[in-house]
Amino acid sequence: MSFILPILLTLFFSSPQKVLVYENRVYEPEIKSVQLYSEKREIRSHLLPSVTQINQNDLVLEFDDLRNDFNSYYVRIIHCQYDWAASSLRDLDFMADYNEFNVNDYAFSSNTQIPYVHYRFNLPKVKLPGNYLLVVYRNGNKSDIILSHRFMVYDGRTSLKQDNRTSGALTLRSTNQQLNFTVDYRGVEIINPFGSVHVVIRQNQRWDNARFNIKPSFVREDVNQIEYRLFDSDKFFTAGNEFRFVDFRSINFPGQNTDRVDKASIPYHLWVQPDASRINEVYSQYPDINGQYYIENRDNGNDETASNYVDVTFTLKTQELEKANVYLVGAFNQWIKNQESRMQYSPATGTYQNTQLLKQGWYNYQYQVEGNQLSPNYFEGSHFETENFYEVFFYYRPFQPNADLLIGYFPIEVNGR
């Protein structure tokens, strides 16, 4: 009995079972600043999407663990269909090596208020183009998940020609953006395009509002072309507005849109200048990074291990909405609307507020509304002139292997400047 009781107590007080979701997600609050990107020889390549061409092997994962104790982390990769359901492929069908990799590139933070360990991992090559989910877990225990993240590998055997002609009601054209295009597949034999081809489009690297399984408008098998004209309003994208931003790459000399910094607290506490609704404002052009963020430290120059984590408070001055919630979202929290991103209203100040623990850098963000039949962009507005970044993913499922292969990837800038 004396041996059984400690075991029962351990089981009773242990953390809830972690359930893997096939999305970009962290499973422990200590895991921060997760970035998976294509490491090109470009300035701020961290902003590039987690997409690469087959055999290029240039995808990199980076994240911080605020526990400041080294953990033995491992990575495995799961092949997925176009809709991010797990495929039936075995590991050897898409991996050249045993599907478990040690994350052995790490460094401890230096002179930071909150100590942390920074981890970096170069993704291995895969043998097939398609959708993949990277899963990081602790000590070889595949159920002890700390994060999951999507990435895509494509085989460029198709080409795309964009058609900029628009259609639809005038009111939709003033607040939405429409993509029409033709895919040329002369480089690959496609059988039954209507049933075996799937197209997915996403805006600004977001999955929360991506359009899945877009059907062809016309198939011209005599010239190996598939035409997509997205007449239906449910295939339009809300253009939105240029993203709000805050710059705290330096804590000593905070940048644009910072209000004040309290250095008496640990960690430091930074307030963003109060925001207001933009719903009735005309479109105003200014540079943004399409909802993304990047880590940069201008105080001592070491971005990965000397950048401080700061409590950052965002404030929106407005009347309280009835039967609706307001969320602070951006790439920094994977656009997830949950308790951590929900803003709290203070009748005394007439503001919504939310505080996030963020690493020094430049952050895009916006306020989204959910409920009471209000538009998600209720506080942001939407203008067809807005600069947005779109990606078209073209999948084909042959008889062998019976899985969706990504044989076309096409980035498209709308209103690029």
Q: Report the pLDDT value the prediction gives residue 12, as an integer from 0 to 100.
A: 40
What is the residue whose two structure tokens read 């990606």? 391
Q: Give the chain's mean pLDDT.
A: 92
DSSP-assigned beta bridge partners for residue 389: 413
Q: What is the pLDDT of residues 41-57, one digit of tens each?
A: 666 778 999 999 999 88
CATH placement of domain 244-370: 2.60.40
Q: Which helix (H) or strand (E) holds 174?
A: helix 170-175
Q: Contact 114/243 with Cβ under 8 angstroms? A: no
pTM above 0.85, yes or no: yes
The set of residues, in sequence order, having a beta carbon less than 8 Å from that of 44 and lying 6+ positions away, is 294
The single-letter code of the amino acid at 274 is: P
Structure tokens given for 20 = 């893997």
Tell me the backbone φ, ψ of residue 94, rounded to 5 degrees. Answer: -125, -5
pLDDT lower than 70: segments of the chain = 1-16, 41-43, 165-173, 231
Angstrom distance (rounded) from CA 242 to CA 246: 13
- 3-state SS, 69-118, equals CCCCEEEEEEEECCCCCECCCCHHHHECCCCCEECCEEEECCCCCCCCEE
Q: Report the pLDDT value the prediction gives residue 342, as an integer from 0 to 100.
A: 98
Q: What is the pLDDT of residues 289-337, one digit of tens each?
A: 999 999 999 998 778 899 999 999 999 999 999 999 999 999 999 999 9
Tell me the backbone φ, ψ of residue 331, rounded to 5 degrees. Answer: -65, -25
Angstrom distance (rounded) from CA 357 to CA 266: 12
Q: Report the pLDDT value the prediction gives residue 143, as an integer from 0 to 100.
A: 96
Q: What is the pLDDT of residues 222-269, one digit of tens each?
A: 999 999 987 677 778 999 999 999 999 999 999 999 999 999 999 999
Q: Report residue 152 CA to chain centroid gap.
A: 13
116 by Cβ neighbours in 10 Å (0-12 / 13-18 / 19+) ranks as buried
Segments making up each domain of the chain, as ranges? 18-154, 159-239+386-414, 244-370
Angstrom distance (rounded) from CA 89 to CA 153: 16
The set of residues, in sequence order, having a beta carbon less than 8 Å from that of 196 and lying 6+ positions away, is 190, 396, 397, 398
Other Cβ atoms closer than 10 A to 400: 5
Q: Which residues of 255-290 are buried (b: 16+ CB within 10 A; e: fewer)?
A: eeebeebeeeeebbbbbbeebeebeeeeeeeeebbb
Angstrom distance (rounded) from CA 181 to CA 187: 18
Q: Do domains 159-239+386-414 and 244-370 have the same CATH topology?
A: yes
CATH fold of 159-239+386-414 reads Immunoglobulin-like (2.60.40)
Helix/strand/coil percent split, the chain, to 5: 10, 40, 50
Q: Contact 13/26 with Cβ under 8 angstroms? A: no
Tell me the backbone φ, ψ of residue 77, rounded to 5 degrees. Answer: -125, 135
Angstrom distance (rounded) from CA 211 to CA 176: 14
CATH placement of domain 18-154: 2.60.40
